[in-house]
Amino acid sequence: MKKIINDPKSIVNEMAQGICLAYPQYVTQVALPEKGQAIIARSKKKTGKVALVSGGGSGHEPSHAGYVGEGMLDAAVCGAVFTSPTPDAVFEAIKAVKTDKGVLLVIKNYTGDVMNFEMAMELAEAEGIKTAKVITCDDVAVMNSTYTVGRRGIAGTVFVHKIAGAAAEAGLDLAAVQKIGEKVIANTRSMGIALTPCIVPEAGKPGFTLADDELEIGLGIHGEPGVVRGKIKKADELTAEILAKILADNPIKQGDEVALLVNGLGGTPLMELFVINRAAHEILKGNGAKVLWTNVGNYMTAIEMAGFSLSVLKLDAELKKFLDAKADTPAFKVV
C-alpha cells in the first residue's frame, strides 16, 4: 500500500482538521465523543431556516464535507472510511446545527447509513428537535445489493444537497424542503464504471482485482459488485452504454431539460472526464434533451479508484430555480 498518511486510525480526524484549516471561512469542526469520525459544520450557524445534515463513510471526498456552506449543507458527518457514522455522531451533528425550523437529513441508501441516521432522528425527536429525511437512490446499476434494499445512493446525491439546500436557504419550511428533495430523487438517475480498485487504509490492500484490460460496469462507490465485468472499451461506447441504462429507467422525450453531472471516482484525469462529457452531450441531445447545466469533476469519489459515473436530472421550473441559486461552499459554487 502506498498512501501519504500517518496512522490509518486517525486519518478521518486529521482530514477534518485539514479541511477546517483550509476553509475556516466556511467550516469548523464539532467535537465528537467517538474517535475515528468527524463532524464538519458551517462556521456561521444558520438561524430561522431549515438546516441540512448529510454524511456517511469517509473516502468520497469532496462528499460530503466539501458541500457544507451557504446554499447547501449545514453539517456533514464523516464516518470511518466506507463505514457509516454512528447514531451518536449524527445526533451530535443535528444538535450542532438545529434551528427552530427543523433539520432535514439527506441519507444515501446504504443499510448502515439509513439505520444510523434514523436512530439519530429518534434521539433528536426525543429532545424536541423537528426532523425529516430523504433517502437518495439514484444508481440504476442494481436494484438490491448486499448493502442496500433498493437502489444505492451515489453521486446524484449532490443534486439533492444543492437543490434542497437552496430551498432551505430560500426560507421554505421543513415539509416543503423535504418534498423538493424527494422530487430531485425521483428525477435523478446515475450509473458508473470502475477501471481500478481502491485501497481502504486500514485494510492495506485492494478490495477487488481487475486485469489490466478489464473494467466493471455498475460498480458501487465502496467497491460493491457491478452488473458485468468486461474488456475496456472506447469512451464513446462506455458513455453510450451507461446512458442507455439511465434513460431506459427514466426516459426523456423531445424538449426535456436536464442537468448532467460527470463525476470522477478519484483516479481519473479531467482530460478523460471531458471526453466522456462530450459524448454524453451528443447522446442526450440526440435523444431530444436540452442539457441546461453541466458539471465535470470529482464530486463523489471512491478514494483513488479510476472510473467515472454519470448522473442525469430531469428539470422543471422549480428545480431549475434552485439549481441556479447561489451556493458558496469549499467544493461547489454558484454565483
Return the SS3 of 181.
helix
Instruction: Tell me the per-residue pLDDT of 113-136, one tens digit each, with 9 for 90 and over.
Output: 999 999 999 999 999 999 999 999
Closest CA to 152 of 143, 163, 164: 143
Identity of the amino acid at 82: F
Give the CATH number of domain 8-186: 3.40.50.10440
- From the options 3.50.50.60, 3.40.50.2020, 3.30.530.20, 3.30.1180.20, give the CATH code of 188-315: 3.30.1180.20
In tens, the pLDDT along 126-168 reads 999 999 999 999 999 987 665 667 899 999 999 999 999 999 9
In the numeric block, which cell numbers belong to residue 37?
Answer: 469520525
**pLDDT exceeds 80 at position 331:** yes
pLDDT of residue 34: 72
36, pLDDT greater than 90:
no
Respond yes or no: is residue 161 known to be catalytic: no
pLDDT of residue 3: 94
- Report how far residue 226's alpha carbon sits from residue 215's, in angstroms, rounded to the nearest whole number: 10
Output the nine-digit C-alpha cell for 108: 444515501
- Select from 70, 76, 78 the least CA-distant residue to 14: 78
Where along the chain do its domains lie?
Answer: 8-186, 188-315
Q: Give the chain's mean pLDDT.
A: 95
Is pLDDT of 47 > 70? yes
What secondary structure does DSSP assign to 138-164, as a single string?
Answer: -B-S-S-BTTBSSPPP-TTHHHHHHHH
Beta bridge partners of 141: none
Residue 181 CA to residue 184 CA, distance in Å, equals 5
- The DSSP H or E segment spanning 248 is helix 235-249
Q: Which helix (H) or strand (E) holds 169?
A: helix 157-169
Q: What is the DSSP string of 48-84?
A: SS-EEEEEEEESSTTTTGGGBSBTSBSEEEEEEETSP
**Active-site residue 281, yes or no?**
no
The CA distances from residue 116 to 32, 109, 183, 216, in Å, are 16, 12, 24, 30
Residues with Cβ within 8 Å of residue 32, at least 6 apart in sequence: 38, 39, 89, 92
Please tell me the distance from the alpha carbon of residue 327 to that of residue 115, in angstroms, as a whole number.
Answer: 30
Query: Considering 60, 64, 161, 281, which one is annotated as catalytic?
Result: 60
74-106 pLDDT, tens digit each:
999 999 999 999 999 999 999 999 999 999 999
Candidates 26, 1, 163, 23; CA nearest to 15 is: 23
Please state, for a pLDDT cut of 90, what percent of the chain lies above it: 92
